[in-house]
Amino acid sequence: MSNEATHHLTDDPAEGGTWLLDLVAAVDYLRRGIRPNITVWDALDESLRWMLTETDAPPESSDELAIAIVGAVADNADSIITIQTAIRRWVLTMADRYNDGHHWPHPVQRRGFPPPRRDS
């Protein structure tokens, strides 16, 4: 992605929910065929590994997600921004590869409104 295309992107923590929704939407799409076994946790793990190794190649090992998170937090005092940047990078890379560069449409609502009570 060129600098011109990324100048408007933000890693403001207030935007974290949008990037997380994008991650869920990308995983929902990828699970339907291209990567049928991927989970949200796999995507988070992959995004953090990319950030730690500074590459967007698929991970070579099956290290635990906790190792990637601990590494992200330990390497940077601004760990929230670091993790959000990793998620944003993963979401945008997947959009470039599998969605013609378009943002992911957010997932379809899975619960009705108003949502049912948890104790029912």
Q: Is the distance from CB of 71 to CB of 52 less than 8 angstroms?
A: yes
Give the pLDDT confidence score for residue 7 in this predicted structure: 38
Q: Quick: pLDDT tens for 68-107.
A: 666 666 666 677 788 888 899 999 999 999 999 999 988 7
Confidence of residue 56 (pLDDT cuts 50, 70, 90): low
Q: Quick: pLDDT tens for 10-24.
A: 677 788 888 999 999
CA distance 76 to 39: 26
pLDDT at 117 over 50: yes
Phi, psi of 71 (to 5 degrees): -65, -40
Residue with tokens 């992200």: 72
Between the CA atoms of 68, 8, 28 and 70, what dihedral angle is there, to the nearest 10 degrees?
10
